[in-house]
Amino acid sequence: GAGVSQSPSNKVTEKGKDVELRCDPISGHTALYWYRQSLGQGLEFLIYFQGNSAPDKSGLPSDRFSAERTGGSVSTLTIQRTQQEDSAVYLCASSLDDRAGTQYFGPGTRLLVL
């Protein structure tokens, strides 16, 4: 079946602009995660959605970052007023279970802020 898909695959933007990154999880997966992979910080957790529960936003680095998940499926990560330090690969993952369930990762969106 189809895996996790993300769009766009690459995004170049100017400092100060807003960007939206999209994630389509595997059908039927109730848990969805966003991570960021950057040279300086490695792989870090950003936000987690599970069903209709309130999301765990504890990893979001600033209030410029937000995310939503509509209808329990597609998720959008929004970065407002982008800064150069936001440049990274943004990864989305989904899983059937939010504990020891395997997380399946998408190919990522590579964001470059000029």
Partner 1 sequence: GDSVTQMEGPVTLSEEAFLTINCTYTATGYPSLFWYVQYPGEGLQLLLKATKADDKGSNKGFEATYRKETTSFHLEKGSVQVSDSAVYFCALSSSSNTGKLIFGQGTTLQVKP
Q: Which residues bind partner 1 (CB under 8 A)?
A: 31, 33, 35, 42-45, 48, 50, 56, 59, 91, 93, 95, 97-108
Q: Which residues 6+ apart lie within 8 Å of 34 measured at CB? A: 23, 45, 46, 47, 48, 67, 75, 77, 90, 91, 92, 93
Shortest distance, CB of residue 42 to partner 1, whole angstroms? 5
CB nearer to partner 1: give 44 or 85.
Answer: 44
Enter the tokens of residue 111.
Answer: 């964001």
Shortest distance, CB of residue 93 to partner 1, whole angstroms? 8
CB nearer to partner 1: give 25 or 108.
Answer: 108
Shortest distance, CB of residue 81 to partner 1, whole angstroms? 26
Enter the tokens of residue 51.
Answer: 């069903």
Shortest distance, CB of residue 90 to partner 1, whole angstroms? 12
CB nearer to partner 1: give 49 or 113.
Answer: 49
- CA–CA dist 68, 77 (Å, integer): 7
Distance, CA of 50 to chain centre: 14
Per DSSP, 70 falls in state: S
CB nearer to partner 1: give 34 or 82.
Answer: 34
